[in-house]
């Protein structure tokens, strides 16, 4: 209804606004009272929640059996939330035909989140950006005769089926229905565009679509940077205001930090723009996408690594951020042509949890320290950030150090960094902090504090450790716990640093472990003052008030875990600081997922990559048995209640098939160039008009693939003519960054464009070796790399056409040629409902479905080495092999396909890889950088037969081959995650009706 109101004239738009205003109780907090907010934070059933979240895209991991694995890892990082996008392009490939089944179903994801105790922020778009093709818009939107992301009813009507369908699915999973969804973000980065941007009528209309679908939890926005759009009115009628921040930018010089990139004014901006809503950063750079020809994700992970996380994230904490989403929290894969043109198959992003689901990056460990600290510090959520205009020199008198304070009722937090945050040298300082015992200049026991280059730290004063007052600490807090009368406080620092703590009523300290000489004590301000030098030898001090202080270096702290943030049985909340702060702290190694204590038995679930000494700090005093990953394990319990044991890592016994020995079959995958090839079933390019609002036609008939419903993978065009002898052909094609094309005249190879990351389109003129009176067919194969995003509202960027833009053939009028086109079989009426609308392209073998297991390969020619044999000339071959995997259970062993990076990068070959029918890689040898393609367990069958297919397109005269193709095993982890993993649906090949 609302849409029809918008349809009418502008004056009616005002009525619309009034209508919304009249019903605004449903727009703001929604008609529920479970999730509420004030200026400090959200609250769930009245409990304050710091929403510490990592972005994860289920659609980028089409193995639902692994969703709980990654969500448990997010939880183990100390996070309590996950933000997820939904990719419309995968769910409504054909207009009006919405389907979210199998790997695309969200219900198993919601179940996994509940099991892991993870709250969800749903971000279903309809526009998502996300470095996916079209920014999530299905290809058929390219035919809408209007700009996108506007109030125009043509656009709004096109979104209605998707939004109502996905909105209903998400609505069922809201916390009000017992589900994990507590926040919903309509639209995405609606932050620039053509007039009438910024259009509140449009923005409200999208919100209303979701309310109509049953969404009652609060809305949250994400401005792509803090412009403050729409938030001058405050709650309840407007949603929580949030914005993004990517301070390191993308793909700059990988080794350098940008200057003037630390957003020190964002706290002030928040106070100006949206003071009544919690400070929310919906996407905080947690890595970077990487383009074709880019640096590779290990490099982006290092650049946006722990130093970046300390300096930039703590800057956000200094503004009291309480909704904080790290983008990406979990890497993923642009499988099945879902990526946008600037990105390749991997979407690892350099995230703390890698595309292979490992947690070995230091980004993970550093974030765990930060998240655990904030989750252990309830005072943080309501502390008031102080104006930091004069941060340089404040509290320290040292102009080279900037300090920003957050003042709580009792506890104060101080965030220190270098005034020049890019500084790489160490700065010594003293700091004078206000405490309940007056101003204290620290260190009190001599020496000085130090801030190493590119570091940032929290100092705290009057910090509550379960009833004991930590008067101050310059060491950073990992966490603390209260077990009966005992408290444990775990702090850490950088190697070699001097740190000092004041513990009120600490009495006489007793060193339980560590070097007596590296620690000093005194009594001042009614407190035990404790100064020590950080080293990798831990120090444990017991104080007479029952407090145990663990003094660690940062790298040792990485091995400490805290578990059991799962549902509180009383409140049903996933986070309950009180129960959380009384669960044990565990020193282990690679990963601890969970611990439960029942009847004097400890059940520990963890993953190990080596034999590991574990300690459980804060166990019940009379533990009778310890079960690690379902195995009874010997242990000792010392007089302080600490349980100690050794978990033995046993390397698994397995081998991977050698792909040079599995035996391959090969098929000529370009029959289209053969003289007698029949293209009668192809789509005729018969549209003399295009609704494409991005580019006018230069040809009599549209040759834009989107006009004919072809939106994914390779495109093929054909036309025929009778020669007058020696024509020249001029051609302009477009496929997006790094695309390529090849042209044949009958079976004669004419030429190729082998791609360039800066070339989105290409002009070429060819002299055709055509003879007078002969009839010829021109065949053109084009790699299309996905649609551009539509970041600017009202624009038509995603419609930027793919295919042939223009052509001329000497001696002919354009209209003398008629063209045929194909992409994937059926176009928008795609055939493979299991793998969705984008998984296949227009290659003959794909149209026939030969990438699917069960394809009739026995009749194909033998090829000993498959793609490692390759082609001696230009063309396309399609290879297939089958092999069994037999991977022992009890281990997480990611398996990737590795293309040897041969030294000859001039050889232009493009491969597509299919594992059990899912396209899991696009390899462009001459562009790179990706050579290793991880494929998840669940797509691989680890206990059965697998079908591997590879298309190989050689673009140059000399042909080409893959120097070496291997299966490689990633890090081998002895895992507590239940196995075998449920297989993703693997539908088999059937002869396809009408395939050509």
> Tokens at residue 737, please?
């960054």
| Angstrom distance (rounded) from CA 586 to CA 647 | 13
Between residues 146 and 806, which has the closer beta carbon with respect to ligand NAG?
A: 146
> Token pair for residue 840?
């296949």
User: Can you tell me which of 26, 53, 129, 152 binds ligand NAG, judged by CB under 6 A?
Assistant: 152
From 256, 573, 617, 625, select the one nearest 422 (Cα to Cα): 256
Q: Which window, 150-158, 176-184, 266-274, 396-404, contacts ligand NAG (CB under 6 A)?
A: 150-158
Question: Smallest distance from the beta carbon of 302 to ligand NAG, in angstroms?
Answer: 9
In the bound state with ligand NAG, the residue whose beta carbon lies nearer, of 827 and 928, is: 928
State the DSSP string of 875-928.
EEEEEEEEEE--PPTTEE--EEEEE---S-TTS-EEEEEEETTEEEEEEETTT-
Residue 6 vs 175, nearer CB to ligand NAG: 6
User: Residue 175 CB, nearest distance to ligand NAG (Å)?
Assistant: 37
Q: For residues 152 and 795, which CB has a smaller minimum distance to ligand NAG in the complex? A: 152
**Which residue stretch of 151-159, 336-344, 535-543, 851-859 sits at the interface with ligand NAG (rule: CB under 6 A)?**
151-159
119-125 and 181-186 strand pairing: parallel
Phi, psi of 779 (to 5 degrees): -120, 130
Interface with ligand NAG, residue 12, by CB under 6 A: no
Spatial strand order of the sheet with 895-899 comes to 932-935, 895-899, 965-969
Total residues interacting with ligand NAG, rule: CB under 6 A: 9
User: 928-954: buried (b, 16+ CB within 10 Å) or exposed (e) per residue?
Assistant: bbbbbbbbbbbbbbbbeebbbbbbbbb
CB of 496 to ligand NAG, least distance (A): 26
The interface region with ligand NAG, picked from 149-157, 164-172, 304-312, 751-759 by CB under 6 A, is: 149-157
Among residues 32, 99, 154, 582, the one that binds ligand NAG under rule CB under 6 A: 154
Selected range binding ligand NAG among 144-152, 219-227, 790-798, 823-831, rule: CB under 6 A: 144-152
Interatomic CA distance for residues 351 and 362, integer angstroms: 10
Question: Is residue 145 part of the contact set for ligand NAG (CB under 6 A)?
Answer: yes
Contact 500, 522 (CB under 8 A): no
Q: Determine if 443 is a binding residue for ligand NAG (CB under 6 A).
A: no
Instruction: Quickly list DSSP for 450-482.
Output: EE-TT-EEEEEEEEEETTEEEEEESSEEEEEEE
Contacts with ligand NAG, 749-788, as mask; x by CB under 6 A: ----------------------------------------
Quick note: the x/- pattern for ligand NAG over 843-872, rule CB under 6 A, is ------------------------------
Q: Cβ contacts of residue 482 below 8 Å, gap of 6+?
A: 465, 466, 467, 581, 582
Q: What residues from 298 to 357 belong to the interface with ligand NAG (CB under 6 A)? A: 298
Which of 7, 627, 759, 972 binds ligand NAG (CB under 6 A)? It is: 7
Give strand pairing partners of 493: 553
Residue 968 CB, nearest approach to ligand NAG (Å): 8
Q: Counting contacts by CB under 6 A, is residue 966 touching ligand NAG? A: no
- For 370, other C-beta atoms within 10 Å of its C-beta total 22
> Nearest 10 degrees: CA dihedral of 26, 30, 36, 40?
-60
Place of tokens 């506890």: 411
900-921 b/e (C-beta count within 10 Å ≥ 16 → b)? eeeeeeebbbbbbbbbbbbbbb
Smallest separation (angstroms) from ligand NAG to the CB of 358: 8
Q: For strand 280-285 and strand 323-327, is the pairing parallel, antiparallel, or unpaired?
A: parallel
Nearer to ligand NAG, 153 or 662 (CB): 153
What b/e string do you get for 226-265 counting C-beta neighbours within 10 Å, with b at 16 or more? beebbbeeebbbbbbbbbbbbbbeebeeeeebeeeebbbe
Query: Residue 304 or 479: which CB sits closer to ligand NAG?
Result: 304
CA distance 798 to 329: 27
Q: Is 78 left (phi over 0), alpha (psi -120 to 50) or beta?
A: left
Q: Is 189 a catalytic residue?
A: yes
Applying CB under 6 A, the span of 147-155, 561-569, 751-759, 786-794 interacting with ligand NAG comes to: 147-155
Q: In whole angstroms, how close is the CB of 152 to ligand NAG at the nearest point? A: 4
Say whether 107 sits in a helix, a strand or coil.
helix
Which of 594, 395, 596, 562 has its CA nearest to residue 482?
Answer: 562
Q: Is 806 in the site for ligand NAG (CB under 6 A)?
A: no
DSSP conformational letter for 434: E
Give the rounded distance of the alpha carbon of 610 from its chain centre. Answer: 28
Q: Toward ligand NAG, which CB reaches closer, 590 or 844?
A: 590
Query: Which range, of 148-156, 561-569, 780-788, 841-849, touches ligand NAG by CB under 6 A?
Result: 148-156
Nearer to ligand NAG, 7 or 597 (CB): 7
Residue from 427, 496, 491 nearest 460 by CA: 491
Provide the phi-psi class of 959: left if phi over 0, else alpha when psi is between -120 and 50, else beta.
left
Q: Kindly state the smallest distance separating residue 153's Cβ from ligand NAG, in Å.
A: 6
In the complex, minimum distance from the CB of residue 756 to ligand NAG, in angstroms, rounded to a whole number: 22
**Complex with ligand NAG: residue 153 or 683, whichever CB lies closer:** 153
Number of neighbours of residue 549 by Cβ within 10 angstroms: 27
What does the alpha-carbon distance between residue 565 and residue 270 come to, in Å, rounded to a whole number? Answer: 30
With CB under 6 A as the contact rule, which of the stretches 38-46, 152-160, 403-411, 586-594 interacts with ligand NAG? 152-160
Tell me the closest approach of the beta carbon of residue 187 to ligand NAG, in angstroms. Answer: 18
Tell me if 156 contacts ligand NAG by CB under 6 A. Answer: no
Q: Which of 592, 932, 935, 983 binds ligand NAG (CB under 6 A)?
A: 932
For the bound state, the minimum distance from the C-beta of residue 7 to ligand NAG, rounded and expressed in Å, comes to: 6
Residues 214-253 that bind ligand NAG (CB under 6 A): none
Residue 689 CB, shortest distance to ligand NAG, in Å, is 14
Q: Residue 382 region, left (φ>0) first, then alpha (ψ -120 to 50), else beta? A: alpha
Which range in 146-154, 211-219, 599-607, 940-948 contacts ligand NAG by CB under 6 A? 146-154
> Among residues 146, 276, 720, 987, which is the contact residue for ligand NAG, using CB under 6 A?
146
- Please tell me which residue in 55, 187, 207, 283 is annotated as part of the active site: 283
Query: Considering only residues 134, 296, 803, 960, which one is a binding residue for ligand NAG as defined by CB under 6 A?
Result: 296
Which residue has 């003037």 as its token pair?
260
Min dist CB 608 to ligand NAG, Å, is 17
Task: CB nearer to ligand NAG: give 81 or 894.
Answer: 894
CA angle 565, 566, 569 (to 5 degrees): 120
State which residue, 153 or 964, has the beta carbon closest to ligand NAG: 153
Q: Which stretch binds ligand NAG (CB under 6 A): 72-80, 145-153, 320-328, 885-893?
A: 145-153
**Active site residue: 92, 131, 189, 789, which one?**
189
Report which of 788, 783, 799, 794 is spatially closest to residue 716, judged by C-alpha positions: 783
Q: Which is nearer to ligand NAG, 31 or 905 (CB)?
A: 905
Please report how close the Cβ of residue 971 comes to ligand NAG at its closest, in angstroms: 7
Residue 956 falls in the annotated catalytic set: no
Q: 81 or 296, CB closer to ligand NAG? A: 296
Q: Which residues are catalytic?
A: 189, 283
Q: Write out the residues near ligand NAG by the rule CB under 6 A.
A: 7, 145-146, 152-154, 296, 298, 932
């Amino acid at each position: 209804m609302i849409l029809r109101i918008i349809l009418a004239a502008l004056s009616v738009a005002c009525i619309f606004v009034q209508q919304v205003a009249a019903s605004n109780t449903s727009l703001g907090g929604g008609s529920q009272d479970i999730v509420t907010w004030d200026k400090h934070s959200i609250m769930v059933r009245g409990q304050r929640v710091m929403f510490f979240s990592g972005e994860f895209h289920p659609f980028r991991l089409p193995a639902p059996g692994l969703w709980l694995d990654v969500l448990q890892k997010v939880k183990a990082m100390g996070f309590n939330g996950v933000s997820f996008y939904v990719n419309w392009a995968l769910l409504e490939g054909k207009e009006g035909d919405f389907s979210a089944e199998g790997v695309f179903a969200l219900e198993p994801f919601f179940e996994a989140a509940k099991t892991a105790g993870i709250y969800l922020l749903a971000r279903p778009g309809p526009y998502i950006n996300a470095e996916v093709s079209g920014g999530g818009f299905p290809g058929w939107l390219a035919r809408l005769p209007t700009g996108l992301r506007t109030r125009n009813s043509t656009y709004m009507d096109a979104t209605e089926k998707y939004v109502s369908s996905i909105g209903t699915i998400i609505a069922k999973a809201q916390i009000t229905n017992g589900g994990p969804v507590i926040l919903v973000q309509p639209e995405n980065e609606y932050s620039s565009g053509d007039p009438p941007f910024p259009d509140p009528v449009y923005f409200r209309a999208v919100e209303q679509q979701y309310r109509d679908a049953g969404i009652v939890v609060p809305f949250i926005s994400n401005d792509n940077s803090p412009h403050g759009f729409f938030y001058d009115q405050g709650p309840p009628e407007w949603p929580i205001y949030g914005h993004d921040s990517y301070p390191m930018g993308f793909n700059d010089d990988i080794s350098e930090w940008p200057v003037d990139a630390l957003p020190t004014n964002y706290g002030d901006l928040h106070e100006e723009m949206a003071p009544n809503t919690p400070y929310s950063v919906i996407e905080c750079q947690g890595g970077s996408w990487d383009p074709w020809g880019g640096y590779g994700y290990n490099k982006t992970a290092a650049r946006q690594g722990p130093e970046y996380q300390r300096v930039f994230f703590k800057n956000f904490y200094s503004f009291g951020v309480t909704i904080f989403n790290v983008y990406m929290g979990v890497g993923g894969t642009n499988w099945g042509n879902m990526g946008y043109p600037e990105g390749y198959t991997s979407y690892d992003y350099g995230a703390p949890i890698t595309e292979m689901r490992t947690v070995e990056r230091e980004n993970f460990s550093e974030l765990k320290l930060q998240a655990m600290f904030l989750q252990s510090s309830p005072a943080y959520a309501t502390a008031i950030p102080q104006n930091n205009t004069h941060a340089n020199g404040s509290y320290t008198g040292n102009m080279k150090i900037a300090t920003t304070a957050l003042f709580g009722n009792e506890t104060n937090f101080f965030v220190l960094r270098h005034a020049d945050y890019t500084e790489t040298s160490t700065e010594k300082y003293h700091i004078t902090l206000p405490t309940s015992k007056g101003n204290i200049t620290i260190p009190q026991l001599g020496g000085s504090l130090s801030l190493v280059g590119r570091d940032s730290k929290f100092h705290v004063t009057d910090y509550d450790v379960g009833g004991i007052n930590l008067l101050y600490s310059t060491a950073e807090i990992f966490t603390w716990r209260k077990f009966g009368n005992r408290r444990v406080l775990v702090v850490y620092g950088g190697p070699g640093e001097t740190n000092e703590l004041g513990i009120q009523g600490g009495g006489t300290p007793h060193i339980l472990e560590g070097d007596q000489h590296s620690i000093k004590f005194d009594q001042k301000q009614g407190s035990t003052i404790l100064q020590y030098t950080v080293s990798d030898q831990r120090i444990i001090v017991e104080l007479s008030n029952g407090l145990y202080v663990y003094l660690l270096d940062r790298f040792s702290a990485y091995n400490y875990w805290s578990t059991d943030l799962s549902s509180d049985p009383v409140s049903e909340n996933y986070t309950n600081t009180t129960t959380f702060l009384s669960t044990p702290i565990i020193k282990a190694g690679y990963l601890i997922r969970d611990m439960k204590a029942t009847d004097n038995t400890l059940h520990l679930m963890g993953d190990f990559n080596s034999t590991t000494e574990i300690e459980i700090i804060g166990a019940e005093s009379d533990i009778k048995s310890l079960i690690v990953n379902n195995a009874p394990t010997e242990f000792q319990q010392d007089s302080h209640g600490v349980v100690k044991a050794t978990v033995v890592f046993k390397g698994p016994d397995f081998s991977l098939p050698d792909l040079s020995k599995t035996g391959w079959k090969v098929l000529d995958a370009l029959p289209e160039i053969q003289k007698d090839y029949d293209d009668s079933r192809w789509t005729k390019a018969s549209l003399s008009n295009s609704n494409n609002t991005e580019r006018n036609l230069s040809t009599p008939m549209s040759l834009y693939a989107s006009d004919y419903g072809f939106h994914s993978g390779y495109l093929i065009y054909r036309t025929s003519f009778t020669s007058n002898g020696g024509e020249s052909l001029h051609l302009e094609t477009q496929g997006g960054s790094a695309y390529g094309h090849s042209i044949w005249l009958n079976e004669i190879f004419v030429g190729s464009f082998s791609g360039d990351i800066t070339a989105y389109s290409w002009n070429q003129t060819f002299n055709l070796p055509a003879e007078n009176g002969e009839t010829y067919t021109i065949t053109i194969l084009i790699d299309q790399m996905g649609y551009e995003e539509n970041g600017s509202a009202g624009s038509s960027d995603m419609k930027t056409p793919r295919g042939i833009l223009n052509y001329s053939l000497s001696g002919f009028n354009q209209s003398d040629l008629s063209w045929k086109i194909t992409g994937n079989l059926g176009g928008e009426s795609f055939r493979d409902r299991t793998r969705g609308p984008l998984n296949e392209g227009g290659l003959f073998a794909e149209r026939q479905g030969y990438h699917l297991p069960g394809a009739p390969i026995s009749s194909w020619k033998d090829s000993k080495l498959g793609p490692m044999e390759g082609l001696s000339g230009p063309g396309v071959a399609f290879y297939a092999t089958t092999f069994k995997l037999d991977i022992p259970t009890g281990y997480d062993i990611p398996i990737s396909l590795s293309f040897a990076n041969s030294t000859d990068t001039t050889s232009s070959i493009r491969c597509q890889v299919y594992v059990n029918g899912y396209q899991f890689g696009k390899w462009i040898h001459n562009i790179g950088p990706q050579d290793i393609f991880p494929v998840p367990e669940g797509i691989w069958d680890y206990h059965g037969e697998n079908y591997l297919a590879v298309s190989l397109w050689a673009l140059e005269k000399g042909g080409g081959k893959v120097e070496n193709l291997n299966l490689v095993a990633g890090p081998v982890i002895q895992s507590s995650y239940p196995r075998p993993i449920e297989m993703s649906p693997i539908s088999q090949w059937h002869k396809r009706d009408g395939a050509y």
